[in-house]
Amino acid sequence: MADRQLLKELTEAFGPSGYETEPAAILVRELSRVGEVTRDGLGSVICRVAGRSERPRVMISAHMDEVGFLVKAVTGDGYVRFLPIGGWWPQVLLGQRVVLRTRKGDFTGVIGSKPPHELTDEERKKLPDINTMFMDFGCRDGLDLVKETGLRRGDPVVPVCPFSEMAGGLLMAKAWDDRGGCGMLVELARRLGKGRFPGTLFLVGSAQEEVGLRGARTAAEVVKPDVALALDVSLCGEYPDRSRKDVEERLGNGAAILVHDMSMIPNTRLRDFAIGAAESAKARFHLTTVRGGYDTGAIHLTGGGVPSLAVGWPTRYIHSHTGIVAEEDYDSVVGLTAAVIERLDAAAAESIRSF
């Protein structure tokens, strides 16, 4: 069972790319109870947990950052122009609440644009343009905004969405991508503990994934893994008018083993090893592809090449203010990953790495 209080704390933490202080502090607090925690030069959290031997060195990565925004400019009439951090679809932004963090504290605002009543016929035919949007923090003019908030160019902004348990038992929050994966790192540390697996385990909360898989690359240079897995969201394909039989990626369908994404083709021996481990552990899973990338896209290119595999969990409405997930899928990813770690001894790692 997932630790819902931990997931609430992680998803509600403030932490867009480059500003991961809050989620990092949670990971440091939790992982320090099991292993030796260090930080790399980009701020990624690296927890070394000793197993029964030094090899293989197994890296499990989940990124700490969420999609968000940066303050670009302040208008004379008190609005904020902003830059997106990570991939946003403009149509999910209008009317949504946000939190600005400055040296003076946190301030709640909303994303606005020209009212629909004032749009021309030509403008109505087009998708909203993020460059025409602005943030409103309730100030009368630019000087008032700067005075009240202490705002400076480059200050970070994140979406607002409290963690909620929904009527059907699903969980709703912002930043499942990838605070859910961060929660899985903690669950794995608690489940496996010290000395209960063959090699040495490195649990990594990576920085700046949403802007180019940056922390995963630097952390992998520190860890020098023999094998690596990334835990992250996958794209839930269920929505009205689409037949369930045509949708493999849906809530309740278990862990998603990525057979292809835009940043990596996985090591096929590791993929098959993970499938076998999942079947032995009776962890529910399915195979899928994603038009996107995971931490493994950077990790697998470090050193002389690292056999890598991405594992996801179906998530509705990613890269928006609100995501919805099923707890049983979260548990399936933890179970599958634990089964891989417990079975991945030196001989298995050598077989995976041999071509």
Q: Which amino acid belongs to residue 290?
A: V
63 known ligand binder: yes
321 is in an annotated binding site: no
The answer to whether the annotation marks 232 as part of a ligand binding site is: yes
Which is catalytic among the residues 20, 66, 187, 209?
209
HEC letters along the chain: CCCHHHHHHHHHCCCECCCCHHHHHHHHHHHCCCCEEEECCCCCEEEEECCCCCCCEEEEEEECCECEEEEEEECCCCEEEEEEECCCCHHHCCCCEEEEEECCEEEEEEEECCCHHHCCHHHHCCCCCHHHCEEECCCCCHHHHHHHHCCCCCCEEEECCCCEECCCCCEEECCHHHHHHHHHHHHHHHHHCCCCCCCEEEEEEECCCCCCCHHHHHHHHHHCCCEEEEEEEEECCCCCCCCHHHCCCCCCCCEEEEEEECCECCCHHHHHHHHHHHHHHCCCEEEEECCCCCCHHHHCCCCCCCCEEEEEEEEECCCCCCEEECHHHHHHHHHHHHHHHHHCCHHHHHHHHCC
Environment class of 244 (CB within 10 Å of its CB; exposed 0-12, middle 13-18, buried 19+): exposed
3 annotated as belonging to a binding site for a ligand = no
Q: Is 117 annotated as a binding residue?
A: no
Respond yes or no: is residue 209 known to be catalytic: yes
* Residues taking part in catalysis: 209
User: Which residues are annotated as part of the binding site?
Assistant: 63, 177, 210, 232, 319
User: Which residues are annotated as part of the binding site for Zn(2+)?
Assistant: 63, 177, 210, 232, 319
